[in-house]
Structure 1
């Protein structure tokens, strides 16, 4: 029968699952999660290390950096260098990283680094600090470039993924097991799975718990990330204006998740950090305040790395029921 709405009818109408999308997920029945020591929340700090991998004519690019610029209203300069933008990124590598490294190590907080391959190669001193940090940091992949991959062809993106894996092997003597391209396209996850060595990817904002994708020849784990509990909100209009606002938002988020966990539905929480943003002295104080708050919950908050969450999920929630702890 012909549709009474021929101008607006589509084959995917009414479907909750289509292509790679799933609008239902766990719904009101998430898996029963038993985080270590009975924790109510798995809390992961993510340090995005991008400085030196952004768009810049000095990197062979045709334009300067433009997305989520720290100068409100600044756009890309096609065919021109952007001196202010370059210096903002330089600050992250020269000063912001070291302030965050000092805070996290002083507070004995593990983290996951989403590391851009090109950026790692430009700062061996920072790489050594990541590698020797205590507690141990996870160095995950943030792709080879801090690019928007929306219109990058498969061949180039495939090469970038392979190249950044090799960079990790060269610098850290081990490959990354996590991947967050950051600005992916619809083929990115296929290429990540095809590469064969990743335990998980985080190019999703779709849930408060890890979940499995069944698009490929084997179940693929997705550990969702966040754009909300993220210091990128310092860089947008009407976002965070100072460290206290950042701390309050993070505290409110964690407190609510702990209460949900106490009601029998433990979740995870990611906190996104950037060297050039929260690495500023007037902002990092708020992060320090939140870290102290999170630690005050004791065993109720498991502060962990993303690879630890992945291994826990493989062992306890693999769809074939097996106790898998690695690939």
Structure 2
């Protein structure tokens, strides 16, 4: 692909000479007579590989144009700029570099030097973008691999309970939906999805006969169950690269009024993600079959969420869950998430 270079200068002689020089070297050159002309050009055209721009121009100097470019869409904002200047003042060069200029070329330029500097700049930028693309691709591969491992672990946790198959996945999806409605960006939504998947990881350390016991638990058995947040927090706390993962596991049984466990945290002292997961976890518990009861009717589920506002649940997240329930006219949300 032939590199495209835009040359911006108010001097027609410089423009003509630069165009001839770059065109003769096999590059595609476009000439514009002012910074304003360049800004107009950006509205309807794709970004070039490089911009060569004079600093001293009437109406808008090169520095002002670069500042405006930084407000443009990503491709134009990231287009490398080399300043053409007859000014050898050190402050001018410092200012240009601080604005993000890639380099300076002195005027009057030597044709062969201009071609070499431009070609090297284009090659460097393309190499940088290729490397960034490779890094992004590898990062995505690693994230996908990590997600598959987490999903497999969540399935293994859920398999301990005969009645809650898919529980962790549904809690993760409900949590992500709450986060989306709250306005979390995609990255934070994915993070809370991961935390939701792993919120019950501590159940690995709880005996199966306690988890699957039909009927109500004894005080001793309940005390055993109450250990799973601490166990989960300890397990996930070992993942130093993502320390926030442990928060959902450790604190999803805390209650907004401070009556939960394991630490009795209250209000905003409970991490926000854990407060979101707590609502999602409670919703799934009520809309799933359990060893001691079947799925509760939707109006009962809604009433329990409403009743728990300000005591068990953060009111803000309880209201979002109530809105999700109200949107679910046919009581299909649990079925749809079970198929996901």
Assess same fold via TM > 0.5: no
Q: TM-score, normalised by structure 2?
A: 0.27
**Higher RCO (CA < 8 A, seq sep 6+):** 1
Q: Which has the higher helix share?
A: 2
Q: TM-score, normalised by structure 1?
A: 0.28
Q: Which has the higher strand share?
A: 1
Larger Rg: 2
